[in-house]
Amino acid sequence: QGSALPKVFKPKFEDYQAVYNEIANRLEENEDYDDGSYGPVLVRLAWHASGTYDVNTKTGGSNGATMRFSPESDHGANAGLKAARDFLEPVKQKFPWITYSDLWILAGVCAIQEMLGPDVPYRPGRQDKDVSACTPDGRLPDAAQGQDHLRNIFYRMGFNDQEIVALAGAHALGRCHTDRSGYSGPWTFSPTVLTNDYYRLLLEEKWQWKKWNGPKQYEDKKTKSLMMLPADMALVEDKKFREWVKKYAADNDLFFKDFSNVVVKLFELGVPFPEDTPQWVFKRVNA
């Protein structure tokens, strides 16, 4: 009698690795998209899904994927992330057993590893929530502000100064878009490869205000092709932050180690993993 019940599909490492491979193999499918890779915008999606966490109320975080819904999808900070969600929709269709919240974080992990970053261990088990779990606007950082704001926002997630600086190294990747945030340009010369260049450029280049009609941002004096946000410059203006910028600028291995640890912490904020949840490191496609 009981044998007539449908067998519940319990995905294993190989199943998640198959999702990883699918994403990895599609990252550069559209050479006209930005710098030729969806990697950076997938990292930003995973970060914005996670960075809504509040340690005090234990709300927000990557468990829920509530950015699928308005109002969260319409929050100013999330402008442009539809590109990442749309990119992942066919993956969800192909592997319907994975939750959106696990998929978005898996995509962030995949993008970091495929863009030659450190290994980022992954645990599955996030559950999707409905629109009522959307977080209020204002939980993600405002690029126009400085160190006090960064501390307020990231301390609320449960991070310290070192972790704030380590996370910011993700800005080695990708670029700003005038039709998303209003800002313009990449932070580094290799926006599809993760390196510690963000810190080196912050310290080594001369930065000046960009003269334009857009929001206040910096450009490098030499080539005028790179950018920094006011919130980026806060990391060299603030004494405590600056110490960590110097360490990461001098030591890519240290950056990779600390970045991996802090990104795992970010991606797991507020996720109630059962005790026996395995942790995996996916095999790279672009090794």
User: With respect to ligand CCH, which residue has the nearer C-beta, 86 or 130?
Assistant: 86
- Choose between 10 and 239: whose C-beta lies nearer to ligand CCH: 239
Q: Are the CB atoms for 228 and 185 separated by under 8 Å?
A: no
- The residues of the shown chain that bind ligand CCH, judged by CB under 6 A, are 40-41, 43-44, 47, 80, 141, 143, 150, 167-168, 170-171, 173-177, 180-181, 183, 229, 231
Whether 3 contacts 46, CB under 8 Å: no
- Distance in Å, CB of 237 to ligand CCH, minimum: 14
Q: Select 47 or 53, whichever has its Cβ closest to ligand CCH.
A: 47
The residues, ordered by sequence, that sit 6+ positions from 239 with a Cβ below 8 Å of its Cβ are: none
In the complex, minimum distance from the CB of residue 8 to ligand CCH, in angstroms, rounded to a whole number: 34
Residue 95 CB, shortest distance to ligand CCH, in Å, is: 24
Residue pair 174/34 in contact (Cβ under 8 Å)? The answer is: yes
- Which of 48, 75, 171, 207 does the annotation list as catalytic? 48
Q: CA quadruple 99, 104, 108, 113: dihedral positive or negative?
A: positive
Q: Is 209 noted as a catalytic residue in this protein?
A: no
Q: Is 104 a catalytic residue?
A: no
Q: Which residues contact 287 (CB under 8 A, 6 or more apart)?
A: none
Which has the closest alpha carbon to 35: 220, 180, 174? 174
- Residue 58 to residue 249: CA distance in whole angstroms: 34
Question: In whole angstroms, how close is the CB of 239 to ligand CCH at the nearest point?
Answer: 18
The residue at minimum Cβ distance from ligand CCH is 174
Cis peptide before 274, with omega less than 30 degrees from 0? no
Would you name the residues annotated as active-site residues? 48, 187
